[in-house]
């Protein structure tokens, strides 16, 4: 039953991503595969990964940048940056977090990617500071990623 709101959001995002002025837009949006530090490098629950992060997301393109950003203990894999870029961000939430879903869309504009980060919240009285991340396909130097945060209670 919880998947229905997610599917509605996905359909809405795809339908609204190509605007009328994009006349050369043949395929309005492509959903791209993403991975995680958990799936690729056996890290555990990186929602609590600590680093030099703010509410603004970062696109990390090298192992040196990754090592410089991290603070304290935690998973520090040797990421294959020839295959991936790592997008990291932080979000202060007002209730407990159950899970996070991600959708990476490539829009009609050649150099623009859009990552939807969907926080699934619960009713606990904690207010966690959550780290979100995704390993995304390696981008060209002129390409960027815009992040949109959605909170699902």
Note the pLDDT tens digit of each residue in 87-97. Answer: 999 999 999 99
**111 in a structural domain:** yes
Q: Do 130 and 47 contact (CB within 8 A), yes or no?
A: yes
**12 in a structural domain:** no
The residue with tokens 């940056």 is 81
**40 in a structural domain:** yes
- Considering 71-75, 141-145, 147-151, the range whose residues carry the highest mean pLDDT is 147-151
**70 in a structural domain:** yes
Q: Do 69 and 101 contact (CB within 8 A), yes or no?
A: no
Give the E-state strand segments of the chain in sequence order.
30-32, 58-60, 84-92, 97-106, 112-121, 129-137, 144-152
- Encode pLDDT of 38-85 as tens digits: 999 999 999 988 888 878 899 999 999 999 988 877 889 999 999 999
Q: Which of 101, 89, 87, 88 is closest to 137 using CA atoms?
A: 87
Whether pTM > 0.75 for this model: the answer is yes
* Number of domains composing the chain: 1
Q: Do 139 and 59 contact (CB within 8 A), yes or no?
A: yes
**20 in a structural domain:** no
Cβ within 8 Å of residue 116, ≥6 positions away: 9, 13, 102, 103, 104, 105, 147, 148, 150
Q: Which domain, by its residues, includes 42? A: 26-152
**132 in a structural domain:** yes
**11 in a structural domain:** no
**21 in a structural domain:** no
Cβ within 8 Å of residue 77, ≥6 positions away: 37, 40, 41, 43
């Amino acid at each position: 039953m919880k998947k229905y709101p997610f599917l509605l959001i996905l359909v809405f995002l795809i339908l609204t991503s190509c605007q009328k002025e994009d006349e050369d837009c043949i395929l309005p949006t492509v959903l791209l595969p993403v991975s995680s530090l958990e799936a690729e490098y056996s890290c555990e629950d990186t929602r609590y990964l600590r680093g030099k992060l703010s509410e603004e997301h970062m696109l990390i393109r090298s192992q040196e940048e990754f090592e410089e950003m991290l603070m304290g203990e935690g998973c520090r894999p040797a990421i294959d940056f020839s295959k991936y870029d790592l997008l990291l961000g932080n979000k202060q939430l007002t209730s407990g977090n159950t899970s996070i879903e991600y959708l990476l869309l490539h829009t009609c504009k050649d150099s623009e990617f859009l990552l939807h980060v969907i926080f699934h919240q619960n009713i606990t009285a904690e207010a966690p500071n959550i780290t979100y991340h995704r390993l995304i396909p390696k981008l060209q130097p002129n390409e960027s990623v815009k992040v949109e945060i959605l909170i699902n209670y």
